[in-house]
Structure 1
Amino acid sequence: MWQEDRHQRIRTLLSTLHRVSTERIMAELGVSRETVRRDLLDLEAMGELRRVHGGAVRPADEAPIDERAHTRVKAKSAVVKAATGIVASGQTLFVDAGTTTSLLAEQLAKLANLTVVTNSIDVALKMRGASGEAEAPNEVILLGGSISNRAAATMGAATVLDIHRFRADLALLSPVGIDARHGATNYDQGEADVARAMVANADRVVVLADYSKIGQRSRITWCPLERIDLLITNAKAAEAAGFASLKRKLRRVLLA
């Protein structure tokens, strides 16, 4: 089968299924795993899909959170470790929901005298777990609202309204993608609304994005580049095609 024929078959599978595994493509096309890998790399470079663990999704889609929690853990951990270095005692922090911010909560829980305002149940529980042992324990505020069907987090109009009750020194937020044209983006409207409200009510905005998110974009922009005070990513991000243009437009980039 010619390469363009394979590419068209993969496009059709994604259009129908939204998410397709490497094994399914191998079976449908009758080709090797290595051939599928090359085809997915080619189509990703053209912006027609996004590779995830075990296969591919359409560019606008995002892998389930349970799966994302086990991918690029080392890279995410490096990002959140760098993020804790800019946090100071006595600050109020907005933290949104996601696999990166869940790891961030594990590090923030080791600090003291913070106020963390979050819509993530996971973040709240991790922060609460160590707070009782500190001399100046952290205060954890879980935002109200409806429980998301995508993650253990609150969202919706009530959550956004609740956010506007607070002012934060820092908003520590993690996008689906960030690129030079669209800024920080997300797939889900509810998650984007929460992040946008946190941005509006924070003195400084810090975006936490592992290398795989650099140069990527999703459906909904929630923060333009000019509003981002700091992007924390991995040194490997410098190899991404969109990194140079992104860095030129940002105030500051920290490579972990």
Structure 2
Amino acid sequence: MWQEDRHQRIRALLSTLQRVSTERIMADLGVSRETVRRDLLDLEALGELRRVHGGAIKPADEAPIAERAHTRVKSKTAIAKAAIGLIASGQTLFIDAGTTTAALAEELAKLANLTIVTNSIDVALKMRGAVDQTETANEVILLGGSISDRAMATTGATTVLDIQRYRADMALLSPVGIDHRHGATNYDHAETEVARAMVANADRVVILADYSKIGQRSRISYCPVDRIDVLVTNKKAAEAADFASLKKKLEEIVLA
């Protein structure tokens, strides 16, 4: 069986089963364990699966944002409050879309004299009118682009081009997962391109990731570990298997 045929069969198994064992692939394809191992390595490199002990699973996706908004709320709020300590008056901040960054916006709304550049409609609305309109009020810039079908946010080529008009002191981003090998990763291509552009145009990168995201990897890497200046997470993250490896590679970790 040709390699591409094997890859297609593995994709079909994962699409049906979500998780598939090495033995099942060997039996279905009639190939050796070593051939399966090579195929899984190839497909993992393409971001089409994640290898686990004994087989493979589909790469991590996120639940709908309306559902995520009600999960680990205390953890996300704690991260948002901790991240405020990294921010100084007069700074320009990139903020992407997500439930953790929405929690951050609620905390930022209590501050003043910041410029917020975001693709998140939720973040923009939380920031709007939160401070009296004086010379120290926050300026909120909502990036142009197409409305995502996954979240209340703008995405696409127009959004990425819009980001390139700005230079931010800091990008505060919330990924699907973060691990010591691949850095910050996302599932959706359009959202990833927005985050990647923010990383490229920011002096510092702050990753906001609750404890459940530590050691997790999604389909697309947008920020390698050596580009992350600060990881803000929960104290419970120290229990994650990948935490020690992350700690060795990151310049700073803030535990909320």
TM (normalized to structure 1)? 0.79
Whichever residue aligns with residue 66 of structure 1, its letter is: A
User: How far apart are residue 72 of structure 1 and its match?
Assistant: 0.5
Aligned twin of 1:90? 90
Whichever residue aligns with residue 209 of structure 2, its letter is: A
2:176–2:186 Cα contact (<8 Å) kept: yes
Whichever residue aligns with residue 202 of structure 1, its letter is: A
Aligned twin of 1:152? 152
Whichever residue aligns with residue 173 of structure 2, its letter is: L
Partners of 2:93 and 2:111 in 1: CA distance: 13
Aligned twin of 1:218? 218
- For residues 119 and 179 of structure 1, do their structure 2 counterparts lie closer, same or farther at Cα, with a shift above 3 Å needed? same
Deviations for 1:22-65, whole angstroms, at most 9, x for unmatched residues? xxxxxxxxxxxxxxxxxxxxxx974855xxxxxxxx43321111
Partners of 1:13 and 1:129 in 2: CA distance: 51
User: How far apart are residue 17 of structure 1 and its match?
Assistant: 7.6
User: How far apart are residue 196 of structure 1 and its match?
Assistant: 0.4
1:81–1:104 Cα contact (<8 Å) kept: yes
User: How far apart are residue 14 of structure 1 and its match?
Assistant: 7.1
Whichever residue aligns with residue 232 of structure 2, its letter is: I
Aligned twin of 1:72? 72
User: How far apart are residue 129 of structure 1 and its match?
Assistant: 3.4
User: How far apart are residue 211 of structure 1 and its match?
Assistant: 0.3
Deviations for 1:133-185, whole angstroms, at most 9, x for unmatched residues? 56611000000000000000000000000000000001000000000111000
| Structure 2 unpaired stretches of 5+ | 1-11, 20-50
Aligned twin of 2:29? none
Q: What SS class does the counterpart of residue 236 from structure 1 fall into?
A: helix
Q: Does 1:161 align with 2:161?
A: yes
Q: Give the alignment of 1:98-247 within 5 angstroms.
A: 98-132=98-132, 136-247=136-247
Q: What SS class does the counterpart of residue 110 from structure 1 fall into?
A: coil
Partners of 2:122 and 2:90 in 1: CA distance: 22
User: How far apart are residue 18 of structure 1 and its match?
Assistant: 5.8
Q: Give the alignment of 1:25-36 within 5 angstroms.
A: none
User: How far apart are residue 131 of structure 1 and its match?
Assistant: 2.9
1:100–1:174 Cα contact (<8 Å) kept: yes
Whichever residue aligns with residue 70 of structure 1, its letter is: H
Partners of 1:66 and 1:18 in 2: CA distance: 23
Partners of 2:169 and 2:91 in 1: CA distance: 6
Aligned twin of 1:37? none
Q: What SS class does the counterpart of residue 217 from structure 2 fall into?
A: coil
Percent identity over paired residues: 75
- For residues 136 and 184 of structure 1, do their structure 2 counterparts lie closer, same or farther at Cα, with a shift above 3 Å needed? same
User: How far apart are residue 15 of structure 1 and its match?
Assistant: 3.3
Whichever residue aligns with residue 77 of structure 1, its letter is: T
1:112–1:135 Cα contact (<8 Å) kept: no
Whichever residue aligns with residue 249 of structure 1, its letter is: K
